[in-house]
Structure 1
Amino acid sequence: MKVLFVPGNSPYPVYSHTPLATSLRNAGHQVFMGGIDWVLPKIAAMGLPPVKIAPLTVEEVASFVSSMPSDPEESARAVGGVYARIALDSLDTLTELAENWRPDIVVGGGMFYCAPLFAHRIGVPSVRLEWDRLDTRMYDPGSVEVLRPALEKEGLERVPDPDLWLDVCPPSLSDPSAPRTQPMQWMAANPQRPLEPWMYVKPDRPRIYVTAGTRLQETRVLREMADHVTGLGAEIVIGAPEDLVEPLSKEVPEARVGWFPLDVLAPTCDLIVHHGGGGTDMTALKSGVPQLVVDPEYPTRAVRVLDEYGAAITLIGEEASPEAVGRGVREILLDTSFRQRSRELASEMSQMPKPAEIVPLMEELAARGVG
């Protein structure tokens, strides 16, 4: 079986799809993963064959991120429109790929619309694999007008539904109104580095990990987040890209700064402070670690429901003052219920079907075909 993955246009979607892609390869199937220029080295680093699908550059991605509307609804529409344009840019390239390497099944991320459109064009089943707990349907309205010409050309009224929809959200945090999906256990897959003992040994004082995710371009955001949690008697670890390590180390000398494998580090942490990124959130959940989400980039239901469950505190806008962040840190460290609720979610995730258990479902789907 030949399987094409087209997860998304940034590093995290690549990492989120890697466990299933690797499980398919381990089962003897041939797997390619498509992406824009920026993510091709990330795909190769995960041990998967990368295929370029669109001409989008990292500079264009950074420009888009910096120009995002502040209004959440307008922002979601803008994101949907960008992903729709990527779909249009990539369809012909993917069709050319299929002339020489025709996949039997196509796997795409939530709003990576090129996956179901391409699968429809060549007549093979499509699989939708969510990156994290975020409900990406909120981006769909922004894609409608951009995709209309392509849909009409394909004889479609809307983007086709997937033949198999895989969801990694723990059932206790799922949206009851969401479509029926096949659960799959989320697994960590991220870049690694030579380990030092402190990374996997829990210290004798609380450890707080601070990160702003994989798209960070400058030090200000991380420095401000670190300022909020210093002086509390905890060990501070700041996750940052290598090009920001030197300036951040000078600005926050009391912290450990670097690009650390979060799947290794997270189990040793007492708290993870971040901006609501999906990869950080899912790693914290998998490790049973409480979260403090500061001014999340996407303040959606996925963020709120974790608060309601009792495994996190979220501070938005004016709520995210240094004083409020300090209070939130102290509350989470002192109130053991946050750790208990986080561990409940980790236990729940461990009971979900592993990626290897999804492989037979995909084999059956490919053998059955469409229609």
Structure 2
Amino acid sequence: MRVLFVTTPVIAHTYPLVTTAWALRAAGHDVLVATCGATAPRVARAGLAVTDTAPGLELGDVFRELAPGANPFAVLAERMLPGVLAAGRPDAVVFTPHAYAGPRAAAEHGVPAVVHGLGLGPGLDQIRETYAGAGVAADFAAGIDVAPDSMRVGERLGWSARYVPFNEGSVLPAWVREPAPRRRVLVTLGTTVPSMVGLARLTPLWKTIDAAADVDAEFVIALGDIDTTELGELPPNVRVVPGWLPLIALLRTCDAAVHHGGSGTLMAVLDAGLPQLVLPQGADQFANAEAVRKRGVGLVRTPDGLSAAAITELLGDGDLRAAAAEVRAELRALPAPSALVDRLTGLV
């Protein structure tokens, strides 16, 4: 069977598909990933075949050109679709919720379309609503839902599967391989927004650094490949990760996480079973933050409401830690990505 995976040029929208794609590859099926821009070589580093459907096209480019009221993902789909169709006829298309070119290509080829969840949402109704607004049919054959039942946002997408975080590989520095000398807190704001707006405008990051100075813990700032030299002199208990370091490796050494609420980071922290403090700024982050609060696995603050006291509470609250452990067990009990192979082949 030949399966085409279609994703927008956003790392957080692409990495959740990698373990599903590899489950199919390990079972002997032909897999091709269709994306574009800088995301394409990153997927290639995961050992998967990739087609760059619109060389050089990035989400930030679309936002900068966007007319008022326009849907950036609809614009992306128009530019990516010719390249997706040029990839040839697959037996099935698996696509992320914002990759409208996926179901359109599946309809063009007359093959099953399967939507692949990224985190706690969006739910089925929300996807249908946004697709209708973009003029895209939402009559896909199946869905893959990676959300734990106790935290799902919206209706179930379909088949349940375990979220297995993928953050690329790396040669780990010695300090990551060794036990942390004291409590350690991960700080990350993802990769999309920092790369689009720059560090100077990342208020949550600066507020976290200010609060960290008064907390008895080590703080590790992970911002991927973004240049962090403008951070300047930092408190002695704040460490900046130089370059790319897989979050799943770093989280194994941490006691808690402070982040923006993006789906990829959120799911990685849930998988690690750690309490988290969420500083939502946009997109799905507010819904994710509310789910964190309701389930009791973490705290939610605005950047101005962030304080050393809040981080100290995060580290010391046993109820938050117990709830995080419960959700980790819930995630680990879901079917592995390998269980999706027979379901997907059964559609063809």
TM-score, reference length from structure 2: 0.89
After superposition, where does 1:126-165 map in structure 2 within 5 Å? 126-135=113-122, 138=126, 144=132, 146-147=134-135, 158-165=136-143
Query: Structure 1 counterpart of 2:296, which letter?
Result: G
Residues 362, 144 of structure 1: alpha-carbon distance in 2 compared, 3 angstrom cutoff: closer
**Partner SS, residue 43 of structure 2:** helix
Aligned partner of 2:291 among 300, 305, 322: 305
Query: Structure 2 counterpart of 1:356, which letter?
Result: S
Quote the residue 2:212 is aligned against. 229
Query: Structure 2 counterpart of 1:255, which letter?
Result: V
Aligned residues: 338
- Residue 6 (structure 1) aligned with residue 11 (structure 2): no
The structure where helix makes up a greater share of residues is 1
RMSD: 2.5
Query: Structure 2 counterpart of 1:25, which letter?
Result: R
Distance 2:187 2:248 in 1: 14
Q: 1:257 Cα deviation (Å)?
A: 1.0
After superposition, where does 1:322-341 map in structure 2 within 5 Å? 324-341=306-323
Distance 2:287 2:165 in 1: 23
Q: Percent identity?
A: 27
**Partner SS, residue 307 of structure 2:** helix
After superposition, where does 1:49-64 map in structure 2 within 5 Å? 49-55=49-55, 57-58=57-58, 61-63=59-61
Q: Deviations over 1:67-118 (max 9, x none)?
A: 999xxxx9xx75xx111122222223222222xxx21110000121111111
- Runs of 4+ in structure 1 off by over 6 angstroms are 66-69
Answer yes or no: is the 8 Å Cα contact 2:131–2:137 preserved in 1: no
Residues 23, 181 of structure 1: alpha-carbon distance in 2 compared, 3 angstrom cutoff: same
Residues 66, 282 of structure 1: alpha-carbon distance in 2 compared, 3 angstrom cutoff: farther
Distance 2:331 2:66 in 1: 33
Quote the residue 2:38 is aligned against. 38
Quote the residue 2:240 is aligned against. 257
- Residue 109 (structure 1) aligned with residue 96 (structure 2): yes
Query: Structure 2 counterpart of 1:163, which letter?
Result: A
Unpaired stretches in structure 2, ≥5 consecutive residues: none
Aligned partner of 2:262 among 249, 263, 277: 277
Q: 1:308 Cα deviation (Å)?
A: 1.1
Quote the residue 2:145 is aligned against. 167
Distance 1:194 1:305 in 2: 34
Distance 1:105 1:190 in 2: 25
Answer yes or no: is the 8 Å Cα contact 1:6–1:112 preserved in 2: yes
Aligned partner of 2:84 among 94, 99, 104: 94
Answer yes or no: is the 8 Å Cα contact 1:223–1:252 preserved in 2: no
Aligned partner of 1:198 among 171, 175, 196: 175
Q: 1:325 Cα deviation (Å)?
A: 3.0
Quote the residue 1:153 is aligned against. none
Answer yes or no: is the 8 Å Cα contact 2:261–2:286 preserved in 1: no
Q: 1:225 Cα deviation (Å)?
A: 2.7
Q: 1:296 Cα deviation (Å)?
A: 3.3
Q: 1:252 Cα deviation (Å)?
A: 5.2
- Residue 354 (structure 1) aligned with residue 336 (structure 2): yes
Query: Structure 2 counterpart of 1:170, which letter?
Result: P
TM-score, reference length from structure 1: 0.83
Distance 2:66 2:250 in 1: 32
Unpaired stretches in structure 1, ≥5 consecutive residues: 148-157, 367-371
